[in-house]
Structure 1
Amino acid sequence: MTTIFYLFSNVFHIYATYQFSNVFLQKKKESAKSDIVLFTLYYIINSCAYLLFGNWIINLLSNFVPYCLIAIYHKNKFIYSIGSSFILCAVLIVLDTLVVAIQSVLNIHSIFFEQGFVSNIVMVAFVNIVSHSFFKKNQLNVSLPVMYYITVIIIPFVSIIIGYLTAVKLNIVSLICSVIILLINVDMFYLYDNLINLFSEKYENNIIEQQNKAYLNQLHLMQESQMKIRFLKHDMKNHIINMQSLLSAEKYDQLKDYLAETNDYIYSNNVIIDSGNETIDSVLNYKLAPLENNSVEKSYHVVLPEQILISSFDLNIVICNLIDNALEALSLLGENDEKKITIDIVYKQGYIKILVGNSFDGIIHKDKRTRKNDEINHGIGLKSVQNIAEKYGGLLKTDVSDNWFETSVIMYEK
């Protein structure tokens, strides 16, 4: 019966270790299935080491070595893998020592304490508090209510008391009660994790929606600007007739003013891109106008048909986000740095490919989505682009080399 108690308890020890790995290790999203296999092997090795040898050093190594190998498997740096393994062992030693000290002071004799159930409950609670407090596990750094931390502390504490009262004697009833208590704790933490992720996702979608509304307003301004250009082209014949009349009448001052006014109008509505698609041209001309009078090296290649079976609104959000990111990166470069931007937008039968490349300072923060102070309301532009690309069966890809950052998007017509 003691062995069965331990084996059930060790399941939750491995679960706590798995949660620990999610905090300290860099993992890919698709690693969940491989983790099931890896941590199952971890459980077998750790359980066998304890049951066969019963030596604390071997037991410690049976935690250190498998965890370190898992960290290396996920392509974490060797030093980082060793370091996180040491941290895991240190946490296990501290928590076990704490539980043993409490057991000794209170003179508690219970299988619930002796077979690691209490240590595992404390471990799960500790990892969850650390992940949501210090490492800000939720993507948008949503601040958690105080009640969350109170619940995280109270439920394990109450569980320990109930477990102590029900598991004084070693029998099947105490085993079932102990397992149920552990399941309740794990389920509670799992529920909170999912609620936090759901809240974060809704919050992120709300920000994306607000950004899209802002881009819609910009789109209206761009279209108004493009309309002015069309009006200018349409009225150019009348403008020429007026200027010829002023010239014939030798009204040079008025002609000078008229030319200056016309020049200002043309300058303020400069045509940079003329691909044949007025909607896309409006966006590009509006966004790229600030670059016309500076030292940025520019390369534009935009060839589009007049009609594309992709929502103009979605297409403009993609283009606006990519160009905004490029302009922000260029603004962070120094005066003596080489500044370059490349835009390549082409339509081929059935799909459109958008490529935006720019020079940048080479600094990338993997743990941050933006370098702006307001990280919550910025830095999700690429997530919005990815959502739209997937909506049209396409994909988003980013490439970084030296001081060059390039983003490409493919979207297929519906």
Structure 2
Amino acid sequence: MNLIVIIYISSNIWLLILIANLFLVLVKDEIYDSQDFYIKLVYYTIFCVLFIGTLYAFISSFITGLTLNKETIIRTFILIVTNTILLIIDDKLHAHIKIKNEKSFLEQQNKVYENELKIIHQSNDIIKNLKHDMKNHLFVLQNLYTSGQHQEIEAYISTMVKQMDNGVFCNSGNFIIDSIINFKLGTIEKATISVNITIPDTLNIDNYTLTTILGNLLDNAIFALNSSHLKKLDINISYVMGNLVIMIDNSYNGVINNNLTTTKANKENHGVGLSSVRNCINNCEGELEISYDEEIFSVSIIIPA
């Protein structure tokens, strides 16, 4: 009977330690990420149930009068150790996936920043050259005006504007959105591109969420665009009644996967990208709508901002 009391007290101590550790981990490490918080809560709850069940089976064997033997102790110990190891492995895997996603985001963001700096330097060089040659340009424009060649004036000015805007598809004032769009669209060759953005300079959306959603959607659109004969891309982003509205229409080859996953060669990373987009939209309590016909694939997203 004394042995049963000792086991009962020990099991309760283990249970208290487990519960304390559960709340420490949840409150200290995961409270800032609601999705991770609930995932952790489910995992730890399952572990608690398994742990309590194991102890209950072990203790009840004595209460019902079963004989204590080495085999029973070993089996119970193995069950407890197994449950603990499974929890540790799951925790490590979850941490590894989170670190991997954060690393991927940082790498993508660094590329975006590098490209934006490159565009800024190119624009500065073009402006310097225009200032240096401005006298010559004005002289040409004056002669064209004097001779009444108004169409030539319009064409000349249009050429100058295009040279200044070379590599700049978006200049909304929102640094993150401008950087992502300029970086992604800079990789497209020979396509009809339309970009229409009317948003405030700052949005109530963290950079990680914005980069994940817009970056992955543009990756998918560009990939589909390159495999189509029409090669058309329309991007419309607006701010309506406290919501960020993103609409992307792109041409594609007319082939749709049944579950709208991927036709890319790199299916693993592409699947992760689509999953990240859906997770971000769900976390923001936003909405995602997909539609398509034989030539155009359309994605519409509404996110509180």
Task: Give structure 1 stretches of 5+ with no counterpart.
Answer: 1-170, 248-258
Aligned mate of 2:215, from 320, 323, 328: 320
User: Where does residue 353 of structure 1 map in the other structure?
Assistant: 245
- Percent of matched pairs sharing the same residue: 25
Deviation, 1:220, is 1.5
User: Where does residue 412 of structure 1 map in the other structure?
Assistant: 304
Aligned mate of 1:238, from 118, 132, 137: 132
Which has more radius of gyration?
A: 1
Q: What SS class does the counterpart of residue 271 from structure 2 fall into? A: coil
Change in Cα spacing, 1:237 to 1:373, as seen in structure 2 (3 Å) is closer
Give a deviation string over 1:95-147, Cα, whole Å, max 9, x none: xxxxxxxxxxxxxxxxxxxxxxxxxxxxxxxxxxxxxxxxxxxxxxxxxxxxx
Is 2:106 aligned against 1:213?
yes
Change in Cα spacing, 1:191 to 1:305, as seen in structure 2 (3 Å) is same
User: Where does residue 44 of structure 2 map in the other structure?
Assistant: none
Change in Cα spacing, 1:328 to 1:201, as seen in structure 2 (3 Å) is farther
User: Where does residue 224 of structure 2 map in the other structure?
Assistant: 329
RMSD: 4.8
Deviation, 1:325, is 1.8
Change in Cα spacing, 1:334 to 1:343, as seen in structure 2 (3 Å) is closer
State whether residues 123 and 164 of structure 2, in contact with CA within 8 Å, keep that contact through their aligned partners in structure 1.
Answer: no
Change in Cα spacing, 1:220 to 1:193, as seen in structure 2 (3 Å) is same
- Separation in 2, partners of 1:241, 1:356: 42
State whether residues 257 and 263 of structure 2, in contact with CA within 8 Å, keep that contact through their aligned partners in structure 1.
Answer: no
State whether residues 169 and 195 of structure 2, in contact with CA within 8 Å, keep that contact through their aligned partners in structure 1.
Answer: no
State whether residues 123 and 165 of structure 2, in contact with CA within 8 Å, keep that contact through their aligned partners in structure 1.
Answer: no
- Separation in 1, partners of 2:186, 2:109: 19
Q: What SS class does the counterpart of residue 200 from structure 2 fall into? A: coil
State whether residues 270 and 285 of structure 1, in contact with CA within 8 Å, keep that contact through their aligned partners in structure 2.
Answer: yes
Change in Cα spacing, 1:244 to 1:303, as seen in structure 2 (3 Å) is closer
Deviation, 1:291, is 3.3
TM-score (ref. length: structure 1): 0.41
Q: What is the correspondence of 1:258-297 to structure 2 with a 5 Å cutoff? A: 266=163, 269-291=166-188, 293-294=190-191, 297=192
Q: What is the correspondence of 1:385-404 to structure 2 with a 5 Å cutoff? A: 385-389=277-281, 393-395=284-286, 397-401=288-292
Q: What SS class does the counterpart of residue 275 from structure 2 fall into? A: helix
Deviation, 1:373, is 4.1
Aligned mate of 2:117, from 224, 238, 241: 224
- Separation in 1, partners of 2:91, 2:300: 29
Give a deviation string over 1:47-105, Cα, whole Å, max 9, x none: xxxxxxxxxxxxxxxxxxxxxxxxxxxxxxxxxxxxxxxxxxxxxxxxxxxxxxxxxxx
State whether residues 223 and 279 of structure 1, in contact with CA within 8 Å, keep that contact through their aligned partners in structure 2.
Answer: no
Change in Cα spacing, 1:364 to 1:217, as seen in structure 2 (3 Å) is farther
State whether residues 345 and 355 of structure 1, in contact with CA within 8 Å, keep that contact through their aligned partners in structure 2.
Answer: yes
Q: What SS class does the counterpart of residue 186 from structure 2 fall into? A: helix
User: Where does residue 87 of structure 1 map in the other structure?
Assistant: none
- Separation in 2, partners of 1:183, 1:350: 57
Q: What is the correspondence of 1:17-166 to structure 2 with a 5 Å cutoff? A: none
State whether residues 249 and 298 of structure 2, in contact with CA within 8 Å, keep that contact through their aligned partners in structure 1.
Answer: yes
User: Where does residue 300 of structure 1 map in the other structure?
Assistant: 195
TM-score (ref. length: structure 2): 0.53
User: Which residue identity does 2:216 align to in structure 1?
Assistant: N
User: Where does residue 55 of structure 2 map in the other structure?
Assistant: none
State whether residues 234 and 248 of structure 2, in contact with CA within 8 Å, keep that contact through their aligned partners in structure 1.
Answer: yes
Deviation, 1:363, is 2.4
User: Which residue identity does 2:243 align to in structure 1?
Assistant: Y
